[in-house]
């Protein structure tokens, strides 16, 4: 009888774990099932482009049945309701119960609202293709309303958070909204597009020259940065700032941070502030038959005291290792330790501009080379996931 491998989540960690496990294990050795809320694998690092309207949904939402369906991987489109690690069972939102021999938890992260009053109810987020579509439609609706009413709140967009998500999103707005405004007969200069960052700088993970370059490039294209001031409250049409200011806006988009998935944090797997703790081989520290990949795990470098950041490139590498280690555990062989390769950080500032720091020596890139590099890293990912299947064991 083949062993049952159950994978929760079809983001970077889950899809790569499924592909890698299938590469190392034949169907006679293991049956692999992947559960995901959506029927697509979403390239979430490109969602800002869908929200801005630069690309179509098909470019960021790849049907799982095309990607995995013909490869002896079962796909279940459902939400995960509960993980019962002591019973080796997972309960889905539909009520279905799946038993497993080995489990991979790759459920990603959730938006963190930090308890800021009114924020969750009154803001949009950018965590899925559906969210990105909602942002695009909402912005267009408000512009149409502005054309009719002339209300300033309809011509004001507030993006909360100046991390990579917030900055890449305002970069798309700066590129695309002039064109959209022109088509609607609205003067782009009537719009106020704010990016509010609580910390002293946007993009704190990048060196100062690249931060300055980003601010300069985006300010020139109409983005207003407010830094060193936190958002403290939101209503349907206002954003309150810590310095006492209030911005009237009917479009509030929150990109202020992420937290571990609450199902994972409360299910009985050992955890640290809501994210599962793992060994160097990416097994749960409490349940060795459970492996973790992506943002829902907290992973420390061996001997280090600062965890790795929750990035797509790490989720991808974790997923690949988990697939290998599932096979090793199943056959009683030695598992490998997680030893990630950092390719760097790249941020797009619209279609033709970007900044980034790459390679071991931290080479700084700006302008077209940075945006080309970002494009290339997306293409590299897509060709990697498609190419992996030529190696699948049958």
What are the residues binding ligand NAD (CB under 6 A)?
45, 114, 116, 160-166, 168, 196-199, 204, 230-231, 255-258, 309-311, 345-347
**Dihedral, CA atoms, 171, 174, 180, 182, nearest 10 degrees?**
-160
**Dihedral, CA atoms, 344, 349, 354, 360, nearest 10 degrees?**
-10
Nearest to 275 by CA among 305, 297, 256, 293: 297
**Dihedral, CA atoms, 249, 255, 256, 259, nearest 10 degrees?**
140
Smallest distance, ligand NAD to C-beta of residue 33, A: 27
Smallest distance, ligand NAD to C-beta of residue 201, A: 8
CB nearer to ligand NAD: give 256 or 350: 256
CB nearer to ligand NAD: give 76 or 299: 299
Contact of 104 with 115, CB cutoff 8 Å:
no
Smallest distance, ligand NAD to C-beta of residue 268, A: 26
Smallest distance, ligand NAD to C-beta of residue 48, A: 8
Task: Please state, in angstroms and rounded to a whole number, the distance separating the CA atoms of residues 91 and 98.
Answer: 7
CB nearer to ligand NAD: give 85 or 160: 160
Q: DSSP readout, 142-199?
A: HHHHHHHH--GGGGEEEEE--SHHHHHHHHHHHHHHHHHHHHHT--GGG-EEEEEESS
CB nearer to ligand NAD: give 11 or 160: 160
CB nearer to ligand NAD: give 91 or 258: 258
Smallest distance, ligand NAD to C-beta of residue 227, A: 9
> Looking at beta carbons, which residue is closest to ligand NAD?
163
Smallest distance, ligand NAD to C-beta of residue 254, A: 9
Smallest distance, ligand NAD to C-beta of residue 94, A: 30
CB nearer to ligand NAD: give 104 or 169: 169
Q: Burial of 179 by CB count in 10 Å (0-12 exposed, 13-18 middle, 19+ buried)?
A: exposed
Distances in Å between the Cα of 109 and the Cα atoms of 88, 169, 391 are 23, 19, 30
Smallest distance, ligand NAD to C-beta of residue 388, A: 21
Q: What token pair was written down for 126?
A: 């950018």
CB nearer to ligand NAD: give 230 or 328: 230
**Dihedral, CA atoms, 164, 170, 174, 177, nearest 10 degrees?**
140
Contact of 360 with 377, CB cutoff 8 Å:
no
Q: Which residues pair with 345 in a beta bridge?
A: 357
Task: Please state, in angstroms and rounded to a whole number, the distance separating the CA atoms of residues 228 and 231.
Answer: 10
CB nearer to ligand NAD: give 63 or 199: 199
Cα dihedral sign, 12-13-14-15: positive
Q: Tell me the helices (H) and strands (E) count for the chain, helix number first.
A: 10, 25
Which positions ≥6 away from 169 have C-beta within 8 Å?
48, 51, 52, 126, 135, 159, 253, 255
CB nearer to ligand NAD: give 85 or 310: 310
Smallest distance, ligand NAD to C-beta of residue 58, A: 20
CB nearer to ligand NAD: give 133 or 201: 201
Contact of 191 with 222, CB cutoff 8 Å:
yes
Smallest distance, ligand NAD to C-beta of residue 210, A: 13
């Amino acid at each position: 009888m083949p062993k049952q491998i159950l994978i929760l989540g079809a983001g970077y960690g889950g899809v790569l774990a499924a592909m890698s496990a299938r590469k190392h294990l034949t169907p006679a050795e293991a049956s692999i099932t992947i559960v995901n809320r959506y029927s697509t694998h979403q390239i979430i690092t490109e969602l800002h482009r869908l929200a801005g309207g630069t690309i179509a949904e098909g470019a960021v939402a790849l049907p799982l049945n095309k990607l995995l369906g013909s490869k002896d991987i079962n796909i279940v489109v459902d939400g995960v309701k509960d993980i019962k690690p002591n019973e080796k069972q997972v309960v889905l939102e539909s009520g279905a119960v799946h038993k497993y021999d080995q489990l991979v938890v790759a459920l990603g992260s959730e938006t963190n609202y930090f308890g800021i009053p009114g924020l969750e109810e009154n803001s949009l987020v950018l965590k899925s293709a559906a969210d990105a579509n909602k942002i695009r439609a909402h912005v267009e609706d408000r512009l149409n309303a502005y054309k009719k009413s002339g209300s300033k709140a309809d011509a004001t967009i507030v993006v909360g958070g100046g991390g990579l998500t917030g900055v890449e999103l305002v970069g798309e707005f700066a590129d695309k909204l002039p064109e959209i405004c022109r088509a609607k007969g609205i003067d782009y200069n009537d719009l106020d597009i704010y990016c509010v960052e609580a910390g002293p700088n946007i993009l704190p993970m990048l060196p100062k020259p690249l931060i300055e370059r980003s601010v300069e490039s985006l300010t020139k294209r109409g983005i207003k940065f407010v830094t060193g001031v936190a958002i403290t409250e939101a209503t349907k049409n206002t954003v309150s700032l810590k310095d006492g200011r209030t911005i009237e806006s009917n479009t509030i988009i929150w990109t202020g941070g992420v937290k571990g998935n609450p199902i994972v944090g409360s299910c009985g797997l050992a955890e640290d502030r809501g994210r599962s703790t793992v060994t160097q081989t990416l097994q749960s520290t409490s349940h060795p038959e459970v492996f973790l990949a992506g943002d829902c795990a907290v992973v420390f470098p061996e001997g280090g005291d600062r965890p790795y950041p929750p990035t797509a490139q790490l989720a991808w590498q974790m997923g690949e290792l988990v697939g290998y280690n599932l096979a090793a555990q199943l056959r009683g062989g030695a598992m490998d330790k997680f030893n990630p390769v950092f390719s760097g950080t790249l941020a797009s500032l619209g279609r033709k501009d970007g900044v980034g720091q790459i390679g071991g020596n931290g080479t700084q890139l700006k302008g077209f080379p940075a945006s080309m590099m970002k494009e290339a890293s997306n293409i590299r990912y897509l060709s990697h996931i498609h190419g992996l299947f030529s190696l699948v064991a049958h």
